[in-house]
Amino acid sequence: MSKEIIKIEDLKREFTMGNETVHALRGISFSINEGEFVTIMGSSGSGKSTLLNILGCLDQPTSGTYDIDGLAVRNLSKNELATIRNEKIGFIFQSYNLLARTSALENVELPLLYNSKVSTEERKERAIKALEMVGLGDRMDHTPSQLSGGQQQRVAIARSLVNNPVLILADEATGNLDTRTSYEIMSLFQELNEKGITIAFVTHEPDIATFSNRTIVLKDGNIIKDYLNKEIQSAATELALLPVEDH
Amino acid sequence: MRLLNLIKIAFKAIILNKVRTLLTMLGIIIGVASVIAMLAIGEGSKESIRNTISSMGSNMITVRPGEDDRGPARGSGGDVQTLTLKDYEVIKEKTTLLSYITPVVNGGGQVINGSNNWPSTIYGVNPEYLNIKVVGLQSGSMFTDAEVQSASKVVLLGQTVVDNVFPDGEDPVGKMIRFNSIPFKVIGVLEEKGENTFGQDQDDVVIAPFTTVQKRILAIDYLNQIMASAVSEDDAPEAVTQVSEILRTQHKLTANEDDDFTVRSMEELISTFSSTSEMLTILLVAVAGISLLIGGIGIMNIMYVSVKERTKEIGLRMAVGGKGSDILMQFLIEAILISITGGILGVTLGLGSTIFIEKFLHWPTSVALYSIIISFAVCAVTGIFFGWYPARKAAALDPITALRYE
pLDDT tens for residues B141-152? 999 999 999 999
Does residue B73 have a pLDDT over 60?
no
- Residue A144 in contact with partner chain B when CB distance is under 8 A: no
Domains and CATH numbers, chain A: 35-60+78-241 (3.40.50.300)
User: Is A91 within 8 Å of B319 when comparing Cβ atoms?
Assistant: yes
Taking the CA atoms of residue B191, residue B202, residue B167 and residue B176 in that order, the dihedral angle to the nearest 10 degrees is -70
Which residues in chain B have their CB less than 8 angstroms from residue A113's CB? 5, 8-9
Better-scored residue on pLDDT, A85 or B200: A85
User: Is B320 within 8 Å of A111 when comparing Cβ atoms?
Assistant: yes
User: Is A114 within 8 Å of B321 when comparing Cβ atoms?
Assistant: yes
Burial of A1 (0-12, 13-18, 19+ CB in 10 A): exposed
| A and B: number of Cβ contacts within 8 A | 65
Strand A4-17 relative to strand A63-68: parallel, antiparallel, unpaired?
antiparallel
Does residue B124 have a pLDDT over 70?
yes
Confidence band of B78 (pLDDT split at 50, 70, 90): very low
Better-scored residue on pLDDT, A218 or B364: A218
Euclidean distance between CA atoms B65 and B85, whole angstroms: 12
Closest C-alpha to A128, from A93, A151, A146, A155: A155
Confidence band of B252 (pLDDT split at 50, 70, 90): confident
User: Is-contact A106 A99, C-beta < 8 A?
Assistant: yes
Taking the CA atoms of residue B370, residue B372, residue B378 and residue B382 in that order, the dihedral angle to the nearest 10 degrees is 180
| Nearest-by-Cβ selection for A113 from B9, B312, B313 | B9
pLDDT at B1: 47
Lowest mean pLDDT among B3-17, B128-142, B244-258, B269-283: B269-283
User: Is-contact B386 B299, C-beta < 8 A?
Assistant: yes
Q: What residues contact B118, with CB distance under 8 A and at least 6 apart?
A: B110, B111, B160, B161, B164, B165
Mean pLDDT, rounded, for B110-123: 90
- Residues 112-131 in A contacting B (C-alpha not used; CB under 8 Å): 113-116
pLDDT at B80: 65
Burial of A121 (0-12, 13-18, 19+ CB in 10 A): exposed
Angle between helix A179-194 and helix A149-161 axes, rounded to 10 deg: 20
Which residues in chain A have their CB less than 8 angstroms from residue B321's CB? 82-83, 85-87, 111, 114-115, 163
| Nearest-by-Cβ selection for A82 from B12, B16, B318 | B318
pLDDT tens for residues B352-367? 999 998 898 888 888 8
Euclidean distance between CA atoms B94 and B238, whole angstroms: 14
Phi, psi for residue B159 in degrees, rounded to 5: -60, -40
Which residues, listed in sequence order, are joined to residue B101 by a DSSP beta bridge?
B228
User: Is-contact B131 B229, C-beta < 8 A?
Assistant: yes
Phi, psi for residue B266 in degrees, rounded to 5: -65, -35
Burial of A112 (0-12, 13-18, 19+ CB in 10 A): buried
pLDDT tens for residues B36-61? 888 888 888 888 877 777 666 678 88
Which residues in chain A have their CB less than 8 angstroms from residue B323's CB? 78-79, 82-83, 114
Better-scored residue on pLDDT, B19 or B277: B19
Which three-class secondary structure string do you get for chain B? CHHHHHHHHHHHHHHHCHHHHHHHHHHHHHHHHHHHHHHHHHHHHHHHHHHHHHHCCCCEEEEEECCCCCCHHHCCHHHCCCCEHHHHHHHHHHCCCEEEEEEEEEEEEEEEECCEEEEEEEEEECCCHHHHHCCCEEEECCCCHHHHHCCCCEEEECHHHHHHHCCCCCCCCCCEEEECCEEEEEEEEECCCCECCCCCECCCEEEEEHHHHHHHHHCCCECCEEEEEECCCCCHHHHHHHHHHHHHHHCCCCCCCCCCEEEEEHHHHHHHHHHHHHHHHHHHHHHHHHHHHHHHHHHHHHHHHHHHHCHHHHHHHHHCCCCHHHHHHHHHHHHHHHHHHHHHHHHHHHHHHHHHHHHHHCCCCCCCHHHHHHHHHHHHHHHHHHHHHHHHHHHCCCHHHHHHCC
Phi, psi for residue A204 in degrees, rounded to 5: -120, 10
Q: How far is A94 from chain B (nearest CA, A)?
A: 11
Which residues in chain A have their CB less than 8 angstroms from residue B12's CB? 102, 106
In a mutational test of the B interface, the residue from A78, A95, A97, A171 whose CB has the highest number of chain B CBs within 10 Å is A97
Euclidean distance between CA atoms B405 and B169, whole angstroms: 88
Which residues in chain B have their CB less than 8 angstroms from residue A116's CB? 1-2, 5
User: Is-contact B272 B361, C-beta < 8 A?
Assistant: no
SS3 state of residue A9 = strand
Which residues in chain A have their CB less than 8 angstroms from residue B2's CB? 114, 116
User: Is A113 within 8 Å of B323 when comparing Cβ atoms?
Assistant: no
Cα A39 to chain centroid, rounded: 10
pLDDT tens for residues A5-47? 999 999 999 999 889 999 999 999 999 999 999 999 998 889 9
Mean pLDDT, rounded, for A170-195: 92
Q: So what's the ipTM on this one?
A: 0.93
Euclidean distance between CA atoms B301 and A134, whole angstroms: 41
User: Is-contact B127 B225, C-beta < 8 A?
Assistant: no
Better-scored residue on pLDDT, B162 or B74: B162
Mean residue pLDDT across chain A? 91
pLDDT at A245: 65
Which residues, listed in sequence order, are joined to residue A226 by a DSSP beta bridge?
A216
pLDDT at B275: 76
pLDDT at B377: 84
Better-scored residue on pLDDT, B288 or B221: B221
pLDDT tens for residues B224-239? 999 998 888 778 888 8
Mean pLDDT, rounded, for B328-337: 91
Mean pLDDT, rounded, for A151-160: 95
HSE at residue B350, side-chain half, CA atoms within 13 A, is 32
In a mutational test of the B interface, the residue from A110, A112, A118 whose CB has the highest number of chain B CBs within 10 Å is A110
